[in-house]
Structure 1
Amino acid sequence: MKKILFPTDFSKTANNAFVYALEMAKFLEAELIVLHVYDLPPVSYEGYPSYVSEVYETIELNKFENFKDHVPLLRKIAEEHQLDSIKMSHVLEQGDLIQAIKKLVKSDKISLIVMGTNGASGWKETFLGSNAGSVIEKVPLISLTVPAKAKFDKIKKIAFTTRFKSKDRVALKQVIEFAKQVNAKVKCLYVKTFDSDVKESKIEKWRSDFKDEPVEFFVIAHDDVKETIYDFLKNQDIDMLSMLTYKRGFFEGLFDPSLTKKMSYHTEIPILALHEK
């Protein structure tokens, strides 16, 4: 059975992403592993080691009680969405979040990580200094990050931007495989700028190579790449955006203040982050 890892801090944002994790587990016929990681603060009380020990024991006990109290809440969310049949296990770890995730990814052979993005600004938190951003950057596994405003509905359309590079071809195959599992179609977008060096023959070759797959190619001529992507996501009613992590810098550029109005719509779209293979 496949396994999905869901790191949580039990916040509203995390609970919202939990619904996506449950739905992914249903589609992938996977077990869901819920992970909560906490860290112990530095405590210094020179000459009283027993006091320090008592402080740590109290903190750990409180963390355990908090964890224990939240497990039934997650079960309730699963029941409310008729997903309580999903196999679920719970892990409480002390230490560093990234290291704990890497450890579980290796030991449990995790197939997918699902987690919420902090705050309400969606993509910005995904890439700039959040836990989700750290996971995308440091854990080489496909990850689904869910903004606080996202509300799960059927995933029917997944967008994938490309420049028809060899890395993009490998990533597109990953996206198509994922799309098949969730009964979605892939909308592959290429923004053709004035100085584009991609030949029409290459585009047609891709169309031919993927003609039997649930993917549709769009070539839009425009010099404003960012705005074209925003318009595409809205006009095509996209449910999820997939991207390669090597494009992280480019996607950070999508946070241009001049695009704030357009960006507000897309704070509800989850991001499927892929790693180069």
Structure 2
Amino acid sequence: MQTGLESKKNDLDNWIHESSIWTSDVDFWLDEVRSFQKVLDKAVNLINDKTRLKSLDHLQNIVHYYGKKILIDLKSKIFHHRESMSSDLNGTIDATYKTASAEHQNIHTEVLDIEKRMREYKKEFRELKETIDLKEKNLKAPFKQVLIPTDFSLNASRAVDYALSILGSGTKTIKLIHVFDSFVPTTLDHTIDDAAAILARKEEFEKEISRIRKDFPDLASKVEPMFQVGNLNQSIEKILAEEKVDLLVMGTRGAGNGSLLFGSNTSSIVRSVSTPILVIPDEAPLLPPKRMLFACDLENVKRPEGMEIFKCIAQQYSADLRIVHVDLKEQPIDSAHERFNVKEVLEELSLEGENIEYVQSNDVLDGINEYVKNNMIDIAVTINHHEGFFKTLFSPSTTRQMVLHSHIPILVLHDNNR
């Protein structure tokens, strides 16, 4: 049976051991605080919005307060407590036991409190890190320049918002252009080449720029406004010819139900330019795509311009990729795989490892629309072929129908040989 003195010695031995564990815990927390600081350093470099930067101040205070004071003071307190108890074992235990017990209990309470707080802080920093990781991932997107025409209509604004929300973080420059067509009546005052109308339109443009800067403060510095007087199609083609634009983003219709700006102009530009085009309908949700449809032509396949853009969007959001070939009902659907060298097709498109689904329909467009509807597709990707299986898809009437009536964004890539 232990005597009172032996029991106190055992307590001191246990407390000394527990103090060593606490020291290791504090060292671990100090390492975590240093990792918190690295996350904050990245956040400062990636977040440009002053309001959001200010919201990080409390996290920076946590790092400074715990890294420079709280944990350092606690570690020192534990060290002196352990040294004191070690001395007590070689001295008069009865005289110091009560003090050591009280101090040990106080430190234990402090350790438990800090442990709880560190778990809470770790959760905050984990969430911040996830945000930073997503931003860094977006920065790896291949968009150096994106061109977005606008006429201030609801659909045009939707196209702007979609591009900024989904692609903005990974884009170096976002060119927002409004072209005042001086050769047709305007929606403002039905005058031709009127200086007052141009001034009024510039004011509308400034309002749109202000809205964008308010709604997307992180991206405000990337937006480059461009106001021109002339013809929309010619202005776009000139910019695409003179500058390295990676992606053109347009709405499906503009002011006046598409009769003045988009609509017919969108389908015309789809057929005339070689730059990838993302066409945005009114109903497009501002959410990352989860399911993407690649409408694959198995005839005369050549790697199109913009495959990197398509693949990057899919990888960036871990989207479920569906590769679909619409097989006309003239032939049995089972023969499609036999009629084409699918492996070579996928290699040419840099889609090795993917599978192709076959849809049978009397019409290519009907087949695509039916698949989109039944499979909750978020973005449809097509190749604008000059010849071959999808030639009818990009005929003037069909393109206009597809662009105007689609309820999901359409990414149009272009055959290099068209």
Normalising by the residue count of structure 2, what TM-score does the alignment of the two structures yield? Answer: 0.51
Partner of 1:101: 236
Partners of 2:351 and 2:304 in 1: how far apart? 16
Alignment of 1:152-167 (within 5 A): 152-167=286-301
User: Which is richer in helix?
Assistant: 2
Alignment of 1:126-165 (within 5 A): 130-165=264-299
CA contact (8 A) 2:156 2:254 kept: no
Greater relative contact order (CA < 8 Å, ≥ 6 in sequence): 1
Query: Could you tell which deviates more after superposition, 92-101 or 216-225?
Result: 216-225
CA contact (8 A) 2:177 2:227 kept: yes
Q: Which has the larger radius of gyration?
A: 2
User: Which is richer in strand?
Assistant: 1
Partner of 1:11: 153
Alpha-carbon deviation of 1:211?
Answer: 9.0
Partners of 1:60 and 1:89 in 2: how far apart? 19
Query: Could you tell which deviates more after superposition, 18-27 or 247-256?
Result: 247-256
Partners of 1:78 and 1:245 in 2: how far apart? 32
Alpha-carbon deviation of 1:269?
Answer: 0.7
Q: Secondary structure at the match of 1:167?
A: coil
Percent identity over the alignment?
27
Partner of 1:273: 412
Partner of 2:196: 58
Paired positions, count? 251
Alpha-carbon deviation of 1:115?
Answer: 1.3
Partners of 1:215 and 1:204 in 2: how far apart? 9
Alpha-carbon deviation of 1:139?
Answer: 2.1
1:189 aligns with 2:324: yes
Alignment RMSD: 3.6
Instruction: Spell out, residue by residue over 1:191-229, the C-alpha distance to the aligned partner (whole angstroms, 9 max, x if none).
Output: 333426644372355467879757442124555655443
CA contact (8 A) 1:32 1:86 kept: no
Q: Secondary structure at the match of 1:60?
A: helix
CA 1:144–1:86 in structure 2 vs 1: closer, same or farther (change >3 Å)?
Answer: farther
Partner of 1:117: 252
CA contact (8 A) 1:13 1:116 kept: yes
| 2:148 partner amino acid | F
Instruction: Spell out, residue by residue over 1:163-182, the C-alpha distance to the aligned partner (whole angstroms, 9 max, x if none).
Output: 31233554794533553355
CA 1:239–1:272 in structure 2 vs 1: closer, same or farther (change >3 Å)?
Answer: same
| 1:250 partner amino acid | L
Partners of 2:183 and 2:221 in 1: how far apart? 35
Partners of 1:151 and 1:233 in 2: how far apart? 15
Partner of 2:392: 249
Aligned counterpart for 2:205 among listed residues 63, 67, 78? 67
Partners of 1:188 and 1:42 in 2: how far apart? 42
Partners of 1:160 and 1:69 in 2: how far apart? 37
CA contact (8 A) 2:275 2:306 kept: no
Partners of 2:244 and 2:307 in 1: how far apart? 21
Alpha-carbon deviation of 1:103?
Answer: 2.1
Q: Secondary structure at the match of 1:241?
A: strand
CA contact (8 A) 2:155 2:253 kept: yes
Partners of 2:199 and 2:363 in 1: how far apart? 54
Partner of 1:77: 215
CA contact (8 A) 2:180 2:201 kept: yes
Alpha-carbon deviation of 1:253?
Answer: 4.9
1:25 aligns with 2:167: yes
Unaligned runs of 5+ in 2: 1-142, 186-192
CA 1:198–1:64 in structure 2 vs 1: closer, same or farther (change >3 Å)?
Answer: same
Alpha-carbon deviation of 1:86?
Answer: 5.9
Alpha-carbon deviation of 1:34?
Answer: 0.5
Alpha-carbon deviation of 1:241?
Answer: 0.9
Alpha-carbon deviation of 1:271?
Answer: 0.8
Partner of 2:182: 40
